[in-house]
Structure 1
């Protein structure tokens, strides 16, 4: 029997080298993204085992996540770290007045992920192996080179760099006010890559139903792996109608923050590819619950962002998945993930296999601890 004796929370702000724009910026709904705010949780037990987890927020919500985590983290003290599901439920009830989605569960996610990291480390296994992996590597595609702030020439150059680095596919952003510009960029990228390189597009929820159908039909000739977020994330019926009308698979789910919200996508057959985000959905505990439902429904899986976590979860999914490659988080961690022959290799390091850098600590803006170190 072991018990949790110490919890440390910290929040850090990672600056982005270039302001990032997708269709939400070009349509006037958001400002360019200049930073990402992280919530880190470090947990230590009486027997000396440690775990690291994190959650994050883009543009807004980071301080709220940190504030909620500070309110509930002390309830971990004295609990058996083996009982992750029990602890998760306790944390949900600790913050029950603010609900079971959004900021509340995103704050809990960092703690839940840290507990899984700890448990896998104690077993001496990577998290993927601990969960029961189906594969030792996962198909991967790059997103960070395909944003709309980048001129076409840069997008093409970044695509070449990704493929040369062993990344298997490329995703570019679409959804601009001028739909002809989307077609121009997509045509150029497909011609540059050739017909055999996996290619995805992401509209970031910026089309209405009519535009999504029109653009989806225009995109059929490009042989896309999927069209991502063509409609508002909560429009399950619209996504379902679109999925039935098009040959190109539909992918969505990254913006949803609970299993319950994802269930509408499953029940309506709104997507061919479901894209949950473990830090957003509330951690690994709810992610695994959703993954079982998605597999039973015959859905493919492509988790959003945070490859450091999602590589392990994708490796444990029964159906051949994809994992999204972003290099943005590299300054936070001492270790790197390997990409070979179009796939991301699951590291054999115990747990998630990551430790924080001095730079991550330098970017820390606040921290708090509970219990005895």
Structure 2
């Protein structure tokens, strides 16, 4: 190797992946978070979110960052799987994102091509798309082919079930004042009357013209979902989210066909194939994929094409730093979910106004990690070409 050649350089002059840094970062939450899964005893309150960050560098000095995450459990598993499969990327052309996704998945295919395995792959995939857009000098939305420069947005973080109704109302006021367009609150209280009183209070507080969504987090059975769906019709909801178990495609289909209120689901599914079950059964009016959960941007784009073909609304789950770009590239007017939880991790802020979130003009995803994020990192691993 000559003095001017970087490690991992290709003799043909093509750019190659030369270094990968993986980090497991634990983001603490100021207040333990409870939704219906806590009230039904299936989960404990959430106190942190664990992130898997992948930072990829090429022999020409280009960089990209991507992430996946886990709530309550699984973070160390994501990180361990990523450490094992990362070496297969060294020396590869970073442009070949589709081929590299397949290579990563098959490197760990003995533990499956869904769930934790593909969520680990997602961090690499998102980093490669970020790198490609940065190298092009374009926001990721523009690289993908944006249909709009801003996306309708709604807030979820102010409406969890651990929050008293009076505080939920205050949070809603602050949310709307910040230029966010809609309010989503959690339901699924075992005492159904409490849910109805809570929704009625929020609707009265924000008025009839404000988009309002509810989320039961899969905690209703079919009869309860039917009864609650009918009782909630009067509140003119934008959608009812996860009324049933995420894998109950037939139950969702029957419910969606019987209600005027749109039904939404998909956030807990971890592959395109799992989402296809919802789509082919006509189970949802609003599909809610999560790019870090389905395996990254490569898989999200496949799913978005299916959703577009079937004329579904799109409202990606969580991770607005990624999903803003993907929603902006969806042909039909979508929604993006505003969560302020991740703000301590990133130097940049996303701008909201007039009910919309605006695509930043920074290249790629437009995010860089803060020093605080580095301090919250409990494990890291470097893989470099020799």
Q: What's the TM-score once normalised by structure 2's chain length?
A: 0.96
Q: Which residue of 1 aligns with 2:4?
A: none
Q: Kindly indicate whether residue 37 of structure 2 is the aligned counterpart of residue 24 of structure 1.
A: yes
Q: Kindly indicate whether residue 361 of structure 2 is the aligned counterpart of residue 361 of structure 1.
A: no
Q: Which residue of 2 aligns with 1:105?
A: 118
The 2-side partners of 1:304 and 1:339 are apart by 17
The 2-side partners of 1:219 and 1:59 are apart by 30
- How is 1:1-373 mapped onto 2 (pairs within 5 angstroms)? 1-372=14-385
Deviations 1:308-365 (A, max 9, x none): 0000000000000000000000000000000010000000000000000000000000
Displaced runs of 4 or more, over 6 A: none
Q: What's the TM-score once normalised by structure 1's chain length?
A: 0.99
Q: How many residues align?
A: 373
What is the Cα-based RMSD across aligned positions, in Å? 0.7
Deviations 1:130-184 (A, max 9, x none): 0000000000000000000000010000000000000000000001100000000
The 1-side partners of 2:70 and 2:106 are apart by 23
Q: How far 1:372 moved relative to its partner?
A: 4.7
The 2-side partners of 1:108 and 1:354 are apart by 19
The 1-side partners of 2:46 and 2:310 are apart by 35
SS at match of 2:128: helix
The 2-side partners of 1:318 and 1:98 are apart by 35
Q: How far 1:96 moved relative to its partner?
A: 1.1
The 2-side partners of 1:354 and 1:75 are apart by 26
Give the gaps of 5 or more residues in structure 2.
Answer: 1-13
The 1-side partners of 2:326 and 2:74 are apart by 25
Q: Is the 8 A contact 2:90 2:385 kept in 1?
A: no
The 2-side partners of 1:162 and 1:200 are apart by 14
The 1-side partners of 2:383 and 2:69 are apart by 21
